[in-house]
């Protein structure tokens, strides 16, 4: 009776509310488009994503160096996520909702998802690595704050706290994607990007791309941090970012719209 009442009172006769149906269609369509990109398109889009998020890292370090406040610096980092949105590039952690939804809806394949994830991740890191070299050379006075930021991550033990920080980092970015797909307002999407940036950087959540760039900056600046320490931290962080984004956000979203998933599979 409750489902029948919803259909009678709602704006459509579909199995879910019209807003969810429109959002689901947009998510699957965008996810399929990303999955069907050429390798060249994946790499170029990922490189730009790394370049642009590095601008946010630069702003973060500048504010942190001047104020010592991670919360204020987190607000500045949102510049990078706004740049990514306006420039239509992307981060690896933005690909946990739409492409996965497209694969589950059979509008793409797991092999295409692997190509997208691996290509975007590597390109993000390469692009960010290059910009952070420039930042380290341009602002040598930031060596101390870069070193402190890097050690916060590479010195963290693999324990419950680190795992939870990485899960929250992945889920926060995926929630940003979901929020931006839920509105057509550019202003609302920019506000969502700033909010996600504040949470990620201001609370020092473990994010495989953002924090890797901080570590790269410290290495370029000559701090006592090396790539072996980065790899040890990065290895588990990227895995738990995926867990957070896929399990805490994407799976729940797909369960909520399971009727639409079934329809899409048979269309």
In the DSSP assignment, the letter for residue 92 is G
Residue 105's alpha-carbon distances to 32, 34, 247, 254, in angstroms, are 10, 14, 17, 9
Q: Stretch 36-65: mean pLDDT, rounded?
A: 96
| Nearest-angstrom CA–CA distance, 200 and 222 | 25
- Is residue 1 pLDDT above 50, yes or no? no
Task: Provide the pLDDT confidence category of residue 241 given band limits of 50, 70 and 90.
Answer: very high
- Residue whose entry in the numeric block shows the structure tokens 């929020």: 179
Q: What confidence score (pLDDT) does residue 119 get?
A: 97
In the DSSP assignment, the letter for residue 198 is I
Phi, psi dihedrals of residue 207, rounded to the nearest 5°: -125, 125
Q: What confidence score (pLDDT) does residue 201 get?
A: 96
Q: What confidence score (pLDDT) does residue 22 get?
A: 73
How far, in whole angstroms, is CA 194 from its chain's centroid?
13
Q: Stretch 131-160: mean pLDDT, rounded?
A: 97
**What is the CB neighbour count within 10 angstroms for residue 267?**
8
Q: What confidence score (pLDDT) does residue 5 get?
A: 47
| Nearest-angstrom CA–CA distance, 65 and 179 | 31
Domains of the chain listed by start with CATH number: 2-265 (1.20.1080.10)
CB 167 within 8 A of CB 240: yes
pLDDT tens sequence across 166-197: 999 999 999 999 888 888 899 999 999 999 99
pTM of the predicted structure, to 2 decimals: 0.89
């Amino acid at each position: 009776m409750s489902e029948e009442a919803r259909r009678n009172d709602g704006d459509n006769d579909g199995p879910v509310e019209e807003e969810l149906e429109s959002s689901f269609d947009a998510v699957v369509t965008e996810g399929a488009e990303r999955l069907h990109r050429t390798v060249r398109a994946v790499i170029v889009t990922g490189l730009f994503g790394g370049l642009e998020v590095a601008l946010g890292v630069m702003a973060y370090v500048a504010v942190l160096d001047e104020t010592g406040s991670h919360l204020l610096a987190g607000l500045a980092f949102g510049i990078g996520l706004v740049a990514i949105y306006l420039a239509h590039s992307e981060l690896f952690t933005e690909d946990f909702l739409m492409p996965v939804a497209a694969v589950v809806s059979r509008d793409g394949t797991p092999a295409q998802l692997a190509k997208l994830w691996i290509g975007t991740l590597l390109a993000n890191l390469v692009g960010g690595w290059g910009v952070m070299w420039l930042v380290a050379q341009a602002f040598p006075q930031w060596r101390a704050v870069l070193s402190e930021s890097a050690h916060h991550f590479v010195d963290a033990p693999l324990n419950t706290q680190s795992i939870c920080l990485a899960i929250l980092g992945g889920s926060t970015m995926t929630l940003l994607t979901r929020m931006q797909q839920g509105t057509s307002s550019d202003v609302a999407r920019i506000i969502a990007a700033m909010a996600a940036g504040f949470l990620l950087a201001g609370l020092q959540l473990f994010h495989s791309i953002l924090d890797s760039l901080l570590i790269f900056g410290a290495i370029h600046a000559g701090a006592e941090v090396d790539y072996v320490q980065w790899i040890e931290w990065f290895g588990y962080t990227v895995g738990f970012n995926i867990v957070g984004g896929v399990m805490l956000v994407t799976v729940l979203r797909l369960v909520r719209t399971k009727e639409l998933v079934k329809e899409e599979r048979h269309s």
